[in-house]
C-alpha cells in the first residue's frame, strides 16, 4: 500500500513518521508546497522541534518515508491520501474572524481530483468544520473522471510537545466514514493501518459528522477547562484562596479528574482558539446563538486572563513600566515545542511594550527572527473582525532576544515567566536576584517557581491565583 500525506506540518510530519515506523510494509510520502519545509525534513535540522521526532525520522527516512515537493506525483501514486493542510480562521469575507478558511483544503481536493488515475481513499486529517466531507465529496466526484473516492474523517488528537508519545500510545483513534459498502471498506483499510500498533478497542468508528464534530468538541472541552480554572484563579486572588489547592481538591473528584487544571496566563497554540471560533460560527449558522455565546466565553476568559496578567505587572510596579527592563522567560505557547502560534507571550509582550517597557526575551527553542516576526505581525481581532495595527518600529527596538536566562535577567526590574520550560524551575534565582534592579519583581505566568523560596530570597512574587505578596 502507498500512503501520501498533503501537508508536512506539525501534524502531517510526525503522524506520517510514526505510521512509517510502525508499518514497514507501507510506503509513506509526505508532500508540501513549501520547499523550505521539505528541505528541512530531509536535513538534520527538522522544521519542528518535538521530543523523540528526530529518532523516528532517522529510522525511516529514505527507507519507507519520503519528503517531497512533488505533490502531484505522490498523490497520483497513493491508495490512501491524508490531507493535513492548515485550516486557519478566515480573516475576510463571510464568517471573518470565526469560520475556518478552507482555501488550502479546497485546492488540495481539486488537485487530488485532477491528478488521480486510480481509486483513492481521501482522509481528513486537518481539523475541519462538521460537514466538510460533504463539500469535499462534491469537489472530488464532480471532477472525478470515473474514479471512485471514499472520504474518511480521521482527526488528529496529538498535543505538541508530546506528539510522538501521543502517536505511539493514543487514547483513541477516531475514524468516521459513510455507512455504504464503499465507506465501510475504506474504514477497514484505514483501521488496518492503525492496527499495526493501536489496540482494536481504541479504534472508534463513527459516521462522518460525529468524527468531524468530535475533534472540535474535544478541543473546546480542553480549552474550557483551562478557562474554568483561570476564571477561578482570579477569584482566588480576590479572596486569598490558592488556585493550586483548589485545583487539587477539585481534581480529586473522579468525575472531574486532575488533568488540565493548571492555572496560567492563558492557553495558546494554533488550535484551541481557532477551533472554538469555528464551533461558534457553526452554532450561529445553525440558529443556536446561546450555544455560540457559551463557547465564545471560553475565549473571552482567555483574553481576560492575558490582559489581567499585564495589568497586574503594571499595577505592581507602581503603575508604570515605562523604560523598565523585563526578562521574558519563554515565548513558545507551551514547553517542549518551538511553536509560537497564538502564544500568550505575544499579547503579554505587546501589552508591556505598549506601556514603553524594554524586553529581553529568552526561549530555548524560539529564534530571534520568529519572535520579531510574531511581535510585528498584524493581529486579527476575532471579537471585532478587524486587523489591529502592528507594533510601531520604535516599540520593536525595545526588544532584544538573548540565548541565556541569566543574560535576559541582568539589570532587569522584573522577570515574566511565560512558558513552563523545565529549565526555569532549576535556575539559580539567588544569582538572578543579585543581578537585578531592586525591588526585584517576578511574575510567574505558569506557576513554575517555588514562591516561598523566592520570597525568602527577596523577590516580590506574583503567581497566578496565589495569595499576593504580604
157 annotated binding-site participant: no
180 annotated binding-site participant: no
440 grid coordinates: 526585584
- Smallest gap from Cβ 16 to ligand NAD, in A, equals 11
323 annotated binding-site participant: no
Which residues, in sequence order, are CB contacts of 450 under 8 Å at separation 6+? Answer: none
- Please tell me the distance from the alpha carbon of residue 170 to that of residue 157, in angstroms, as a whole number: 8
- Please tell me the distance from the alpha carbon of residue 22 to that of residue 3, in angstroms, as a whole number: 13
Known catalytic residue: 271?
Answer: yes
Closer to ligand NAD by Cβ: residue 162 or 372? 162
Peptide bond into 162 cis (omega under 30): no
- Smallest gap from Cβ 169 to ligand NAD, in A, equals 16
32 annotated binding-site participant: yes
Q: Which of 358, 362, 364, 394 is nearest to 376 (CA)?
A: 394
- Smallest gap from Cβ 301 to ligand NAD, in A, equals 21
Beta strands in 246-290 (DSSP E): none
37 annotated binding-site participant: yes
Residue nearest ligand NAD (C-beta atom): 9
11 annotated binding-site participant: yes
Which run of H or of E encompasses 65? Answer: strand 65-68
Judge contact between 83 and 7, C-beta under 8 A.
yes
Closer to ligand NAD by Cβ: residue 10 or 441? 10
Sheet holding 358-362, edge to edge: 399-401, 358-362, 325-329, 414-417, 441-444, 460-463
Closer to ligand NAD by Cβ: residue 167 or 412? 167
Closer to ligand NAD by Cβ: residue 36 or 315? 36
Closer to ligand NAD by Cβ: residue 127 or 305? 127
- Smallest gap from Cβ 194 to ligand NAD, in A, equals 16
Cα–Cα distance list, 14 to 87, 150, 365 (Å):
18, 24, 18
- Smallest gap from Cβ 287 to ligand NAD, in A, equals 26
Catalytic residue among 5, 271, 283, 349: 271
- Please tell me the distance from the alpha carbon of residue 35 to that of residue 112, in angstroms, as a whole number: 19
Residue with cell 479546497: 106
- Smallest gap from Cβ 133 to ligand NAD, in A, equals 14
Contact positions toward ligand NAD, by CB under 6 A?
A: 6-12, 31-34, 37, 71, 84-87, 104, 107-108, 126-127, 156, 158, 160, 270-271
Which residues, in sequence order, are CB contacts of 87 under 8 Å at separation 6+? Answer: 100, 101, 102, 104, 105, 126, 127, 128, 274
- Please tell me the distance from the alpha carbon of residue 36 to that of residue 198, in angstroms, as a whole number: 33
Closer to ligand NAD by Cβ: residue 108 or 317? 108
266 annotated binding-site participant: no
Which residues contribute to the annotated binding site for NAD(+)? 7-12, 32, 37, 85-89, 126-127, 160, 271-274, 341
Q: What residues are labeled active site? A: 271
Amino acid at each position: 500500500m502507498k500512503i501520501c500525506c498533503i501537508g508536512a506540518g506539525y501534524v502531517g510530519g510526525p503522524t506520517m513518521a510514526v505510521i512509517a515506523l510502525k508499518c514497514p510494509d507501507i510506503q509513506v510520502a509526505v508532500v508540501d508546497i513549501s520547499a523550505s519545509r521539505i528541505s528541512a525534513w530531509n536535513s538534520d535540522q527538522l522544521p519542528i522541534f518535538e521530543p523523540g521526532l528526530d529518532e523516528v525520522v532517522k529510522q525511516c527516512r529514505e527507507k519507507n518515508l519520503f519528503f517531497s515537493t512533488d505533490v502531484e506525483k505522490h498523490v497520483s501514486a497513493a491508495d490512501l491520501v491524508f490531507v493535513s493542510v492548515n485550516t486557519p480562521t478566515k480573516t475576510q469575507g463571510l464568517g471573518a474572524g470565526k469560520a475556518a478558511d478552507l482555501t488550502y483544503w479546497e485546492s488540495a481536493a481539486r488537485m487530488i481530483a485532477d491528478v488521480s488515475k486510480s481509486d483513492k481513499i481521501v482522509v481528513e486529517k486537518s481539523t475541519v468544520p462538521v460537514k466538510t466531507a460533504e463539500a469535499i465529496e462534491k469537489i472530488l466526484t464532480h471532477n472525478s473522471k470515473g474514479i471512485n473516492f471514499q472520504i474518511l474523517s480521521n482527526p488528529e488528537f496529538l498535543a505538541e510537545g508530546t506528539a510522538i508519545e501521543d502517536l505511539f500510545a493514543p487514547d483513541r483513534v477516531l475514524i468516521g466514514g459513510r455507512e455504504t459498502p464503499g465507506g465501510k471498506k475504506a474504514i477497514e483499510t484505514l483501521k488496518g493501518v492503525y492496527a499495526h500498533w493501536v489496540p482494536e478497542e481504541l479504534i472508534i468508528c463513527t459516521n462522518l459528522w460525529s468524527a468531524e464534530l468530535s475533534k472540535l468538541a474535544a478541543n473546546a472541552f480542553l480549552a474550557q477547562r483551562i478557562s474554568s480554572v483561570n476564571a477561578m484563579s482570579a477569584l482566588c486572588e480576590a479572596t486569598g484562596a490558592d488556585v493550586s489547592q483548589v485545583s487539587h481538591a477539585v481534581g480529586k473528584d473522579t468525575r472531574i479528574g486532575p488533568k488540565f487544571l493548571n492555572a496560567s496566563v492563558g492557553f495558546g497554540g494554533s488550535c484551541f482558539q481557532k477551533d472554538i471560533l469555528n464551533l461558534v460560527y457553526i452554532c450561529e449558522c445553525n440558529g443556536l446563538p446561546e450555544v455560540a455565546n457559551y463557547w465564545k466565553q471560553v475565549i473571552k476568559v482567555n483574553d481576560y486572563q492575558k490582559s489581567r496578567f499585564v495589568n497586574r505587572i503594571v499595577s505592581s510596579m507602581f503603575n508604570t513600566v515605562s523604560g523598565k527592563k523585563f526578562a521574558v522567560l519563554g515565548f513558545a505557547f507551551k514547553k517542549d515545542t518551538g511553536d509560537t502560534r497564538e502564544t500568550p507571550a505575544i499579547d503579554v509582550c505587546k501589552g508591556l511594550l505598549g506601556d514603553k517597557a524594554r524586553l529581553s526575551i529568552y526561549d530555548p527553542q524560539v529564534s530571534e527572527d520568529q519572535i520579531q516576526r510574531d511581535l510585528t505581525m498584524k493581529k486579527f481581532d476575532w471579537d471585532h473582525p478587524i486587523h489591529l495595527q502592528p507594533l510601531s518600529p520604535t516599540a520593536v527596538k525595545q526588544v532584544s532576544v538573548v540565548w541565556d536566562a541569566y543574560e535576559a535577567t541582568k539589570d532587569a526590574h522584573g522577570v515574566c515567566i511565560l512558558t513552563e520550560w523545565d529549565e526555569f524551575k532549576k535556575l539559580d534565582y539567588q544569582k538572578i536576584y543579585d543581578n537585578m534592579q531592586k525591588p526585584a519583581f517576578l511574575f510567574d505566568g505558569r506557576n513554575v517557581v517555588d514562591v516561598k523560596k523566592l520570597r525568602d530570597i527577596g523577590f516580590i512574587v506574583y503567581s497566578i491565583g496565589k495569595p499576593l505578596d504580604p
